[in-house]
Amino acid sequence: MRLPRITLRQRQRLLHVVFYLLLPFALFAQSTDTSPFPKTETYALQAKTNGQAYRIFVSLPESYRENDTTKYPVLYLLDGNPFFLLLQSMQHFFATGEELQEMIVVGIGYPVKGVLESMPLRTRDYTPTADTGFDHMIDQDLKLPIPTTSGGAAVFVNTLKQEIFPLVEKRYRTAGARGFAGHSFGALFGAYVLFHEPQLFSNYLLSSVSIPWDHNEMLQEEQQYFNKGNRNLKAHVFMSVGSKEMADMPALMRQLAASMRAHQYQGLQLHEQVLENETHTSAVTTAFNQGLRVLYGKVKTD
């Protein structure tokens, strides 16, 4: 029998994060049929790369016209079930006030009834390495079936490149630059892409990166990227964490940011923020607010 790779204390803390991240956002898991924005479309995708069914939410700019030739940047958002309507509403409001450029927002979710049901799926897709202890926790403590083990980020990258990007870019008029947004495990996946295939996205909005995953794996990933001789990292990155998250989260984010700055990557624009009085749950709204304006704003922000 393989022993869990996380301690009991870590397990309890991770459970706390899981419940307090997902449950408050259950209200956002409704169909976009009731969206106040008419230019919202939903697709069912059965991926061939991993056999997983996905639900793809697409929000078009107010000015988008079928007979026009204007192209728009695309922002891809993970955890589309809880976060798509949140980010869509925020982006639309800022664009209406001319504080943000118009864009296409694509939420990547799953065909689940409740947000908590997506936990095994997002754990598999968003994590870069396998952690049997966390898999055991989902199975035994949350009583959720595990379709496969964690550590499927590399496969999910192929799902994006081979199936999700083509679906969007064939159907809509998209500009060349893609953007990424994710929170928690979603941001962990974004950081993984940044250090493995950074060219996939130009802008990275990383909210509360789960750096503690698998003994701070992402700190090692960044160091390995540098050790391989990489001196270029052409990306605009906004990275944030709540000041009231788990005690080590703010320090770990600062450590990752400091390492990236010390390596002096050419082409990297990095903004990091500790969001005062924000928890792992509440930080996502502030991170989206700040990150959108830093990465896509028409009005200069610090």
Q: Closest Cα to residue 72, out of 61, 87, 56?
A: 61
Whole-model pTM above 0.85? yes
DSSP bridge pairs for 241: 274
Once rounded to an integer, what is the mean pLDDT over residues 101-122?
Answer: 91
| Domain map (residue ranges) of the chain | 8-296
* Homologous superfamily of domain range 8-296: Alpha/Beta hydrolase fold, catalytic domain (3.40.50.1820)
Per the listing, tokens 């500790």 go with 274
pLDDT digits (tens, 9 = 90+) for 17-50: 444 344 334 333 333 444 556 589 999 999 999 9
From CA 132, how far away is CA 73, in angstroms rounded? 38
pLDDT winner (highest mean) among 6-15, 62-71, 140-149, 220-229: 220-229
For residue 287, give the 3-state DSSP assignment.
helix
pLDDT digits (tens, 9 = 90+) for 184-231: 999 999 999 999 999 999 999 999 999 999 999 999 999 999 999 999
E strands, the chain, in order: 40-46, 53-59, 72-78, 104-109, 174-183, 203-207, 232-242, 266-275
For residue 110, give the 3-state DSSP assignment.
coil
Confidence of residue 4 (pLDDT cuts 50, 70, 90): very low
Q: What is the pLDDT of residue 108?
A: 98
When comparing pLDDT for 216 and 5, which is higher?
Answer: 216
Is residue 129 over pLDDT 60? yes
Q: Closest Cα to residue 76, out of 298, 297, 301, 295?
A: 295
Q: What is the pLDDT of residue 222?
A: 98
Q: What percent of the chain has pLDDT over 70?
A: 85
Which two structure tokens, joined as six digits, stand for 121?
Answer: 């799926």
From CA 205, how far away is CA 239, in angstroms rounded? 6
